[in-house]
């Protein structure tokens, strides 16, 4: 159970503590933030509402601890990360339970998220040792007009305090995808978990605590993003922000100072289906891509662009796949579970109402009970409908019928988002040309968009993000290049 066993020290009087100076603390605010269980709509947990003074303290400690940590040998940093990964995996059950209760993640997926997170931390430790342990060596005579009288040693140095802000949908995985690269690169780390998902994150942080990282190196501040977020992101102590979420990231990027930003934002991943695609394979693949975790994935298929001549057949097969999805509570490991908040459910409903008003074909009856929305395929969606462009982040998938590949590519590229896209066809040459034409960070050929494996580069164009991630890219992004130049005596110098 959450907050018991080795996790008993992270909770007091039913409120989970925040993490500062290597200890679990109660906020002096005396206030807490409620975490509402999306299934029961009742308060499941409470976390501390941290104050600005507490943020200052955490930042100050992180700055101090980072100096020593940067001098800690790489192999020792890696050793601690491996230890944290093992502890995380050992305690996958209570952490997964938090994911089920806080964000209604289906039980099996919740376990997978924790295990995958442990694997990510371990891989990051290994990759860090490899790529941070080597640099570059240049000689001056490789540039015109220069003698061989200067050697340049190029290495990678840490940035300082990294601020990590993950979203609700993969709170543990997307927190460690920031924490592990930051730490292996010699940075310290301040985490602001999402409110829904905060308790799973606090358990995860405790695994790092148990691994024995130096005091103050890791801090975790809880509270509502709308209240504490600006103070954190504009804090002068922060030297890098790694953020994953929605439009909030665009606002942060406008406010943040002159520091590196890693922004992983929303998506409207388009799926183009050509005439020659194997529809028996395509239909279940799109349904899985569109409806896993109730569509609350940045890389969920969010619009299907299908050639008109095969659209009827594809829609029929997708309807058959959708009919097999189970709907219900996350504890029963249902495919479709309640969406994270009531306001998310209301937003999804707005898009559905708009599509109905403008003449979309409903392939199933629209059904909602509280936060639970039954899977819905909307056919004959047109560009004047909001669902054609906006990210519902729920179990509603629009189908737009197209008459040419160019029409599909045009729709994909006209979106404000540019995260991933996919194309289904047996013609691999055509698929590669379409991939080149789709302006998205990744294009999947013959499979729905997906994040991972976690060492693959992952990035979004336009409003979908800044920079690239994936383990290697994240480590590099959280370092700066440093040159040390050795000036040798002039060529006239004799060694005697
Ligand atoms: P969100 O509302 O933008 O929140 C993300 C994080 O920002 C949360 O931790 C939130 O804390 C915090 N926050 C809120 N206001 C803030 C502020 N003013 N300053 C700093 N932080 C603030 O996103 P979400 O609803 O959790 O996640 C869904 C979105 O994430 C979708 O758009 C999805 O596509 C995107 N996403 C993108 C990727 C990717 O890799 N590209 C991956 C996953 C998800 P509180 O919870 O306390 O408000």
Query: In 359-402, at which residue ranges do the beta strands (DSSP E only) sit?
Result: 361-362, 368-369, 372-373, 376-379, 396-402
Condensed to tens digits (0 to 9), the pLDDT of residues 401-429 reads 999 999 999 999 999 999 999 999 999 99
CB 438 within 8 A of CB 419: no
% of the chain with per-residue pLDDT over 70: 99
Looking at residue 14, what DSSP letter applies?
T
CB 106 within 8 A of CB 330: yes
Average pLDDT over residues 126-133: 97
**Which DSSP string do the residues of 408-438 spell out, in sequence order?**
HHHHHHHSSEESEEEEE-S-HHHHHHHHHHS
Average pLDDT, the chain: 97
CA of 264 to the centre of ligand 1 (A): 9
Active-site positions? 264
Return the pLDDT at 490: 74
- Report d(CA 181, CA 131) in Å as an integer: 11
pLDDT of 184 higher than 80 = yes
Average pLDDT over residues 154-165: 98
Q: Which of 386, 420, 416, 388 is nearest to 402 (CA)?
A: 388
- The verdict on the CB of residue 225 being under 6 Å from ligand 1 is yes
Report CA-CA distances (Å) from 401 to 162, 379, 446. 45, 8, 19
Return the pLDDT at 147: 95
CA of 266 to the centre of ligand 1 (A): 9
Average pLDDT over residues 200-221: 98
- Report d(CA 397, CA 43) in Å as an integer: 30
Residue ranges of domains in the chain: 5-265+464-481, 270-445
Average pLDDT over residues 42-46: 98
Return the pLDDT at 496: 67
- The verdict on the CB of residue 246 being under 6 Å from ligand 1 is yes
Average pLDDT over residues 100-112: 98
CB 165 within 8 A of CB 289: no
Return the pLDDT at 452: 86
SS3 441: coil
pLDDT of 46 higher than 90 = yes
Of 198, 201, 225, 466, the residue with max ligand 1 atoms within 8 A of its CB, to mutate for a pocket test, comes to 225
- Report d(CA 151, CA 403) in Å as an integer: 60
pLDDT band, residue 494 (cuts 50/70/90): confident
Return the pLDDT at 380: 98
Average pLDDT over residues 460-478: 97
Task: State the CATH architecture for 5-265+464-481.
Answer: 3-Layer(aba) Sandwich (3.40)
Condensed to tens digits (0 to 9), the pLDDT of residues 332-373 reads 999 999 999 999 999 999 999 999 999 999 999 999 999 999
Condensed to tens digits (0 to 9), the pLDDT of residues 320-331 reads 999 999 999 999
Condensed to tens digits (0 to 9), the pLDDT of residues 225-280 reads 999 999 999 999 999 999 999 999 999 999 999 999 999 999 999 999 999 999 99
CA of 308 to the centre of ligand 1 (A): 36
Q: Which of 339, 350, 343, 421 is nearest to 385 (CA)?
A: 350
- The verdict on the CB of residue 229 being under 6 Å from ligand 1 is yes
Return the pLDDT at 491: 62
Instruction: List, in order, residues 6 or more apart from 76 with CB less than 8 Å away.
Output: none
CATH number for the segment(s) 270-445: 3.40.309.10
Report CA-CA distances (Å) from 493 to 144, 149, 489. 22, 11, 6
- The verdict on the CB of residue 265 being under 6 Å from ligand 1 is yes
Of 241, 243, 246, 268, the residue with max ligand 1 atoms within 8 A of its CB, to mutate for a pocket test, comes to 246
Query: In 166-289, at which residue ranges do the beta strands (DSSP E only) sit?
Result: 188-191, 218-220, 238-244, 261-264, 270-273
pLDDT of 224 higher than 90 = yes
- The verdict on the CB of residue 118 being under 6 Å from ligand 1 is no
pLDDT of 492 higher than 80 = no
pLDDT of 50 higher than 80 = yes
Name the residue at shortest CA distance from atom 20 of ligand 1.
229
- Report d(CA 482, CA 158) in Å as an integer: 10
CA of 5 to the centre of ligand 1 (A): 31
**Which DSSP string do the residues of 32-71 spell out, in sequence order?**
EEEEE-TTT-SEEEEEE---HHHHHHHHHHHHHHHHHHHH
């Amino acid at each position: 159970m959450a907050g018991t066993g080795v996790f008993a020290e992270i909770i007091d009087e039913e409120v989970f503590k925040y993490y500062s100076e290597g200890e679990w603390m109660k906020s002096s605010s005396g206030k807490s933030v409620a975490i509402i269980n999306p299934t029961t709509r009742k308060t499941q947990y409470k976390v501390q509402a941290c104050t600005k003074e507490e943020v200052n303290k955490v930042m100050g400690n992180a700055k101090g601890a980072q100096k020593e940590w940067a001098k800690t040998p790489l192999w020792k940093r890696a050793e601690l990360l491996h230890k944290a990964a093992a502890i995380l995996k050992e305690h996958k059950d209570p952490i997964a339970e938090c994911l089920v209760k806080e964000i209604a993640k289906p039980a099996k997926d919740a376990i997978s998220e924790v295990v995958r997170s442990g694997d990510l931390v371990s891989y990051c430790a290994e990759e860090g040792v490899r790529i941070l342990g080597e640099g570059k060596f240049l000689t001056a005579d490789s540039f015109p007009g220069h003698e061989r009288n200067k050697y340049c040693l190029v290495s990678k140095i840490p940035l300082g305090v990294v601020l990590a802000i993950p979203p609700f949908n993969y709170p543990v995985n997307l927190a460690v995808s920031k924490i592990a690269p930051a730490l292996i690169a010699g940075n310290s780390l301040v985490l602001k978990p999402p409110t829904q998902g905060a308790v799973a994150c606090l358990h995860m942080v405790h695994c790092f605590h148990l691994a024995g990282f130096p005091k103050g190196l890791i801090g975790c501040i809880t509270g509502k993003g709308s209240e504490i977020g600006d103070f954190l992101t504009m804090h002068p102590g922060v030297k890098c922000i790694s953020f994953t979420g929605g439009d909030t990231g665009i606002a942060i990027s406008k406010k943040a100072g002159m520091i590196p930003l890693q922004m992983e934002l929303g998506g409207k991943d388009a799926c183009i289906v050509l005439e020659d695609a194997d529809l028996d394979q395509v239909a279940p693949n799109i349904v899985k891509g569109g409806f896993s975790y109730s569509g609350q994935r940045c890389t969920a298929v969010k619009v299907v662009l299908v050639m008109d001549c095969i659209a009827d057949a594809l829609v029929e097969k997708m309807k058959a796949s959708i009919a097999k999805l189970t709907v219900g509570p996350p504890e029963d490991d249902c495919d479709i579970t309640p969406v994270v908040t009531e306001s998310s459910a209301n937003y999804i409903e707005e898009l559905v109402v708009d599509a109905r008003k403008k003449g979309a074909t409903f392939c199933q009856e629209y059904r909602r009970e509280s936060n639970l929305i039954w899977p819905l395929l909307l056919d004959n969606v047109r560009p004047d409908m909001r669902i054609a462009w906006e990210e519902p982040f729920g179990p509603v998938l629009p189908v737009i019928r197209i008459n040419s590949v160019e029409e599909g590519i045009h729709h994909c590229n006209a979106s404000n988002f540019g995260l991933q896209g996919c194309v289904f066809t047996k013609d691999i040459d055509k698929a590669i040309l379409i991939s080149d034409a789709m302006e998205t960070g990744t294009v999947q050929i013959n499979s729905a968009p997906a994040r991972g494996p976690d060492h693959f580069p992952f990035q979004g164009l336009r409003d979908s993000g800044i920079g690239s991630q994936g383990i290697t890219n994240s480590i590099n992004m959280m370092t700066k290049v440093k040159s040390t130049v050795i000036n040798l005596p002039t060529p006239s110098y004799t060694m005697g």
